[in-house]
Amino acid sequence: MKLGMQVYRAENFRETVAAIVDYERVGVERVAVPEAYTFDSVTQLAYIASRTERIELQTGILPLYTRTPTNLAMTAAGLDYVSDGRAVLGLGASGPQVIEGFHGVKYDFPIGRTREHVDICRQVWRREKVEHHGTHYDLPLTPERGGSGLGKPLKLMHHPVRDRIPMLLAATGPKNTALAAELFEEFQPFLFHPEHARAAFGDALREGTAKRDPALPPLTIVVTASLLVTDDRQQIERARQAVRDHAALYIGGMGARGKNFYNALAVRYGYEREAALIQDLYLGGRKEAAAAAVPDDLVDAISMIGTKSAVAERVAAFEAAGVGCALVEPVAPTHPERLEDMQTLRALIGG
C-alpha cells in the first residue's frame, strides 16, 4: 500500500509545503490537493512540484464540469511537465451544490461526460489530432452542433512527458464505480469502510473490470483517512469527534432527501436506519445530534485513530480490502507529532 497524504484547508500554504518536504523525507509518496470552491488545486500542486523531488502530485479532485476535456488534458500535461512525470489526474463529477451553485453550469449526464473526458484526454496526451463526436462534446465543433465549420482537428503542440498520465475517478455510486473499473487507472471512493467495501462496491467493480482494456494496469483503490497514533484518550476522542462531524456533514447534509450519494453509500454499508436518522437531524438543523448519531464502528472503520496496535489493525483491514494508496490527514497537535505519526504509519505499511 502506497502512503500519501491530503493537504486540506491549509491556512499558511508556504508553511504547509515546507512540511510536505519533511513528509517526503520520511517516505510519503503522494500528496493530493482538493478543489471544491476554494483556491484551484493545480496552482498549488505546481508550487509543491517545485519544492519536492519524488512525491506524486494528485489533483483531488478536479470537477469535470469546470474545464473542457482538452483543457483538463493540457493542465495535466503541464503539471506532469513541471514535475518530471509525477502528475495524477484526479477527476470527479462533484454535485449540483457546487457545479450549479458556484460555477453556474448545469449538472447533467455525469457518467456520459466522464466517459468522453477519458477518450479526449488520452487522445491529447498521445498527440493525436483530436477528433471526438460524442453526445456531449464535439471536436472539432461541427456546423450541425452550432460550429462555423472553420475548426480543424488539432494536436497538442508540445510533447508530453508521458503519453499516458494516470487518471483517477472519485466515485461513490455503483455506475461511477463501474466506470472507474472499466476506464481509469485509479478509483477513489469516499468514507471507505474496508469491512463493508465488498457489499458497497463489489458488484460494480466486477461489472467494470469485465469490460476493462487488458492494456490498462490493475485498478488501484485510493482512500482517505484521518491519522492519529497515541495512547492519550482525550486526543483520540477529539480526533474521533472530528471524523464524526465530517461523516455527519456528508451523510446528513450533502444533498436533498433521495439525492444524497453519501447517505446512499451509508445504506449500502448496512447503516440504513442510522443514515435516515442522521439526515433527519442534520436537515432539521440539529447538526450536533446528527454527529452523535454516527455509529462508533463507522467512525473507527473509516479512520486510523488510536494506539499503535489499533492503527496497525486498521492498516491490515485497508490492505485486506485491496487498498493500493492511503491518503491520510495527520491530525496530531504539532508538526513534529504529525511527522512522527507518518513515520509510524510508514513502518506499519512497510515497503
Q: What is the pLDDT of residues 246-273, one digit of tens each?
A: 999 999 998 889 889 999 999 999 999 9
Task: List strand residue ranges (DSSP E) for the chain, in order.
Answer: 2-6, 30-33, 56-59, 62-63, 87-92, 132-133, 138-139, 167-170, 186-188, 220-229, 304-306, 323-330
Helix-, strand-, coil-residue percentages of the chain, each rounded to 5: 50, 15, 35
For residue 162, report the phi and psi dihedrals to the nearest 5 degrees.
Answer: -130, 145
pLDDT at residue 297 tops 80: yes
Burial of 245 (0-12, 13-18, 19+ CB in 10 A): middle
pLDDT at residue 13 tops 90: no
Task: Give me the mean pLDDT over the 3-27 stretch.
Answer: 88
| Domains identified in the chain and CATH numbers | 57-170 (3.20.20.30)
Say what percent of the chain tops pLDDT 90: 92
Task: Give me the mean pLDDT over the 177-182 stretch.
Answer: 98
Q: What is the mean pLDDT of the chain?
A: 96
From CA 91, how far away is CA 35, in angstroms rounded? 10
Task: Give me the mean pLDDT over the 44-56 stretch.
Answer: 97
Q: What is the DSSP letter of 160?
A: P
Of the CA atoms within 13 Å of residue 14, those in its CB half-sphere come to 0
Please report the pLDDT score of residue 294 as a whole number: 98
Please report the pLDDT score of residue 7 as a whole number: 87
Please report the pLDDT score of residue 24 as a whole number: 97
Place of cell 440504513: 272
Task: Give me the mean pLDDT over the 339-348 stretch.
Answer: 97
Q: What confidence tier does 10 reach under pLDDT thresholds 50, 70, 90?
A: low
Q: Is the dihedral of CA 247, 110, 65, 161 positive or negative?
A: positive
Task: Give me the mean pLDDT over the 159-176 stretch.
Answer: 96
- Per DSSP bridges, beta strands 138-139 and 167-170 are unpaired
pLDDT at residue 97 tops 90: no
Please report the pLDDT score of residue 350 as a whole number: 86
Q: Residue 104: left if φ>0, alpha if ψ -120 to 50, beta else—which one?
A: left
Summarize pLDDT for 59-77 with one digit per residue, the tens: 999 999 999 999 999 999 9
Q: What confidence tier does 315 reach under pLDDT thresholds 50, 70, 90?
A: very high
Helix (H, G, I), strand (E, B) or coil at 306: strand
Q: Are 170 and 61 in contact (CB under 8 A)?
A: yes
pLDDT at residue 11 tops 80: no
Q: What confidence tier does 351 reach under pLDDT thresholds 50, 70, 90?
A: low
Say what percent of the chain tops pLDDT 70: 99
Please report the pLDDT score of residue 131 as a whole number: 97
Q: What confidence tier does 96 reach under pLDDT thresholds 50, 70, 90?
A: confident
For the entire predicted model, the pTM comes to: 0.95
pLDDT at residue 9 tops 70: no
For residue 133, report the phi and psi dihedrals to the nearest 5 degrees.
Answer: -120, 85
- Per DSSP bridges, beta strands 138-139 and 132-133 are antiparallel
Angle between helices 110-125 and 69-82 (to 10 degrees): 50
- Per DSSP bridges, beta strands 56-59 and 62-63 are unpaired
Summarize pLDDT for 214-243 with one digit per residue, the tens: 999 999 999 999 999 999 999 999 999 999
Please report the pLDDT score of residue 256 as a whole number: 85
For residue 138, how many other CB atoms are within 10 A of its CB? 17
